[in-house]
Amino acid sequence: MNPLFAKLEDVERRYGEMTGELSRPETVKDQKRFRELSREHAHMGGIVEAWRRFKDLRQRIAGNEELAADPGELGEMAREELESDRAALQSQEQNLRILLLPRDINDDRNVILEIRAGAGGDEAGLFAAEIFRMYSKYAERKGWRVEALSRSDNDAGGVKEIIAMVHGEGAWSHLKYESGVHRVQRVPATEAQGRIHTSTITVAVMPEANDLEVEIDEKELRIDIQRAGGPGGQSVNTTDSAVRITHIPTGIVVLCQDEKSQHKNKAKAMKILRTRLYELRRREEEEARAALRRGQVGTGERSEKIRTYNFPQSRLTDHRIGRTTHDLPQIMEGDLDELIAACRAHYQAIALEEAMKQ
């Protein structure tokens, strides 16, 4: 049997076993096991459904091949159907290969989104604020919720840095290709000569980690309480509510000062720290697994220039996939579906090519 088909038969068999396992009282009682099994069962269900459609299509082709020998009208109809069905079968087989690619275990997670101004002074800060708005609009379209965890504004109305949690099913699967350097080309509002300036910001997207996945020893932390600074509410600069946590083994530093409550700031800082430690471990494991993938955005290389936003020409170019569009205003309003879908398809094609070499 074709190795691909043998694998799909195994998936279908396992899917049937899991269906029975999910209905058992002992499985339902173990809520953690039930949730994990339900997610895996739902994922397998999509593969099994596609595999069954493939088998039905193959059976129909076999029937039409017999009828095609008929010289009459029935044979002519069968021959017409054969042409389209064979093309559909080839497309469906490719789809099945993609569905069998190793699943990213983080795909259903929330994400922590970090946006920082880079080169370009105040203009970079303004663009960072606009990119955060773009992702917030996109999250709104998806029915996700965006929660700001930490924000540092500049005097021009932009941001030096903003860290936010994006809550929503599939947030990581959609946003994981956004990490990198985003470059903007436009005439700043402060430019009297009308010259185009180039500025950059960095975007980092990390899957949220939970308490069980990343254990943090309090002895390895240095926690400093300080007075909050910068623009803010009436409590800013009057209470010692800002929390600065340093993870001594890695040198990771997190500062949260947005909340009036010291305890709330500490909780947010710990959430960010835990996610950064999880991301650090994830990157190390990924690099150890596949050196060939180091150039991909999935490795989280922030130094890589991934996109250019050219406002005078309403042009956006994604340098990784060689895609250029001229609908920049719509994209800045959060219309990212086509762009993100193109990125996902690009990296799926790479993963499929590597899988077929093995």
Closest by alpha carbon to 188, among 126, 236, 262?
Answer: 126
Rounded Cα distance between 166 and 172, Å, is: 9
pLDDT confidence band for 129 (50 / 70 / 90): very high
Span of 28-37, 157-166, 222-231 with lowest mean pLDDT = 222-231
Residue pLDDT, tens place only, 6-31: 889 999 999 999 999 999 999 988 88
pLDDT confidence band for 288 (50 / 70 / 90): low
For residue 141 the two structure tokens come to 């379209």
| Mean of pLDDT values over 98-125 | 88
For residue 276 the two structure tokens come to 């950064």
Q: Which fold does the domain 218-286 belong to in CATH?
A: Double Stranded RNA Binding Domain (3.30.160)
Q: Which pLDDT does position 211 carry in this prediction?
A: 64
CB-based burial of residue 302 (10 Å sphere; 0-12 exposed, 13-18 middle, 19+ buried)?
Answer: middle
Tokens 């909780």 locate to 267
**Which alpha helices (DSSP H) does the chain contain, by range?**
3-22, 25-29, 31-67, 73-99, 122-142, 171-175, 262-289, 328-332, 337-357
Rounded to the nearest 10 degrees, what angle do helices 3-22 and 31-67 cross at? Answer: 140
| Mean of pLDDT values over 302-306 | 68
Rounded Cα distance between 214 and 54, Å, is: 42
Percentage, residues of the chain above pLDDT 90: 46
Q: Which pLDDT does position 297 carry in this prediction?
A: 36
pLDDT confidence band for 289 (50 / 70 / 90): low
Q: Which pLDDT does position 95 carry in this prediction?
A: 86
Do 311 and 185 form a contact (C-beta atoms < 8 A)? yes
| Higher-pLDDT residue of 78, 311 | 311
Residue pLDDT, tens place only, 45-79: 999 999 999 999 999 999 988 888 888 888 888 88
Do 312 and 300 form a contact (C-beta atoms < 8 A)? no
Rounded Cα distance between 169 and 179, Å, is: 19
Residue pLDDT, tens place only, 314-349: 999 999 999 999 999 999 999 999 999 999 888 888
| Mean of pLDDT values over 301-320 | 86
Rounded Cα distance between 120 and 126, Å, is: 10
CA dihedral 41→284→340→206, nearest 10 degrees, is: 80
Task: Tell me: pLDDT of 300 over 60.
Answer: no
Rounded to the nearest 10 degrees, what angle do helices 31-67 and 73-99 cross at? Answer: 150
Span of 105-114, 235-244, 328-337 with lowest mean pLDDT = 235-244
Residue pLDDT, tens place only, 191-236: 767 789 999 999 999 988 876 667 788 889 999 888 766 554 444 4
Query: What is the DSSP track for 227-265?
Result: ---SS--TTTTTS--EEEEEETTTTEEEEE-SSS-HHHH
Residue pLDDT, tens place only, 264-279: 889 899 889 988 998 8
Q: What is the CATH number of domain 111-211+296-357?
A: 3.30.70.1660
When the pLDDT of each residue in the chain is averaged and rounded to a whole number, the result is 86
Closest by alpha carbon to 342, among 314, 319, 310, 326?
Answer: 319
Rounded Cα distance between 173 and 274, Å, is: 20
Closest by alpha carbon to 336, among 162, 169, 133, 106?
Answer: 133
Q: Which pLDDT does position 193 carry in this prediction?
A: 75
DSSP 8-state symbol, 120: S
Mapping DSSP to helix (H, G, I), strand (E, B) and coil, where does residue 85 land? Answer: helix
